[in-house]
Amino acid sequence: MTKKKILVVASTMSHIANFHMPYINELKKTYDVFTMAKNDFGFEADFDIHFEKKDFLIKNIGIIKKIRKILKEYKFDVIFLNTTLAAFYVRCAVKGLKNKPKVVNIVHGYLFSKHVGAIKRFALELAEKFVAKQTDNIVTMNREDFEYAKKHKLSKGEVFFIDGMGVDNSRVRINQKERHDDKIVFTFIGELSARKNQKFLIKAVKALEKFDYNIELNLLGYGVKTQKFINYAKKLKVDKKVNFCGYQKDISKYLENTDFYVSASKIEGCPFNIIEAMMAGKVVFSADIKGAVDVISDLENGVLYKFGNLDSFVSKFRLVKNNLKLQEEIKKNAILTSKKYELGRVFSNNIILFEKLIKG
């Protein structure tokens, strides 16, 4: 019997490597599984496709044609889509195919939310509705996206909810390096982008100067905003306090040396980076956005501040920084919460769902 062909798609191969390889390896026991993404950071896809965020009419029409040619040649049975950009272009390529594959959109956080400008939000929502008829099923990772997808009928079939793709607890260690100085280390892990909003964290370092806190901010990741954020840190004269660490495969040594994990993201799906920090026993400060509010209960297992509100961040930080008992309680609860999202816990349920979607 011929094996079914499965295609796993994302904007970058590093995304697939970070979130999907355990599932791909499991599915390969039964199916022929291929990957489509942009090669990056030493990770290589079966089909190297450079999804472009800019020059839509010039470059991306050609990309859609290239994808369409691959789909016609390989005749995949099921496509699992990840990341907004890649998911949109592949569904455009699927439109009009004679033998359409089943298309499952795994939503790692819709890019539209109340924290996105009205025009951009409208365009993003319109794009998702435009390809809804090419979407057989949707898998979401937070309640807001789950309810939105159902309400607006963004797929022909059922919308599912999962507790993320799973966090590998072998990537983190529950301990803290002992230091003998007054330094306070902040860390954030994620692509340097407007969506991840590291600019706010740089501003926070500046704002905390007047309280004589000796803050050091580690930003792990790389992205289109890297140089702009470097320039912004220099403009605020905090460039000596902000470390741009680039993409890091081994995050454990950074988390180990971290006092507080901080996030200013505008949007999350199931916040993988936040859960990793919680797993490492860190007090996490996050904006009160979708995804984060699904995981964090304020002042219980983490700290939520008002999105984009520097005063809210500073006041919450000063409150928690001055209360060691509260910090210890938050750390303990954070570790307990993170167990819900461990790869070992969610993997079997997710595989059962993916098998169901492949066979159904």
What size, in residues, is the chain?
Answer: 360
Same domain, 161 and 183: no
206 and 84 share one domain: no
- If asked whether residues 202 and 144 sit together in one domain, one would say no
What's the CA gap between 215 and 204, in Å, rounded? 10
- Tell whether 185 and 312 lie within a shared domain: yes
Contacts with 217 (C-beta within 8 Å, 6 or more apart), sequence order: 185, 186, 187, 188, 201, 202, 205, 241, 242, 243, 262
Return the pLDDT at 171. 81
In this structure, the answer to whether residues 153 and 283 fall within a common structural domain is no
User: Which pTM does this prediction carry?
Assistant: 0.93
Comparing CA positions, the residue from 259, 288, 291, 257 lying closest to residue 275 is 291
Helices (H) and strands (E) in the chain, counts: 14, 13
Distance of CA 53 to the CA centre of its chain: 17
Q: Where are the beta strands (DSSP E) in the chain?
A: 5-12, 32-38, 47-48, 78-82, 102-106, 137-140, 159-161, 183-189, 214-220, 242-246, 260-263, 283-287, 303-305
Distance CA 340, CA 322 (A): 29
What is the three-class DSSP state of 148? helix
User: Are the C-beta atoms of 342 and 167 separated by less than 8 Å?
Assistant: yes
| CATH at residue 110 | 3.40.50.2000
Of 238, 244, 289, 299, whose CA–CA distance to 268 is shortest? 289
79 and 48 part of one domain = yes
Q: Which residue range forms the structural domain that includes residue 105?
A: 5-166+343-359
Residues 61, 132 within the same domain = yes
pLDDT reported for residue 172: 84
Residue 114: the pLDDT is 81
| Predicted pLDDT at 180 | 64
Same domain? For 306 and 228 the reply is yes
Phi then psi for residue 244, to 5 deg, are -95, 105
Number of compact structural domains in the chain: 2
CA distance linking residue 120 with residue 275, whole number of Å: 28
Residue with tokens 């303990």: 332
Residues 185, 106: one domain?
no
Longest CA–CA span in the chain (Å) reads 70
Give the mean pLDDT per block of 10 residues along the chain (360 residues): 92 95 98 97 94 64 93 97 95 93 97 85 93 98 97 97 94 73 94 95 97 96 94 98 93 93 96 96 97 98 98 98 97 97 97 96
Q: How far is CA 151 from CA 111, 270, 290, 321, in A?
A: 17, 20, 17, 41
**Are 182 and 154 in the same domain?**
no
Indicate whether 144 and 34 sit together in one domain.
Answer: yes
Residue 70 CA to residue 73 CA, distance in Å, equals: 5
- Do both 106 and 198 map to the same domain? no
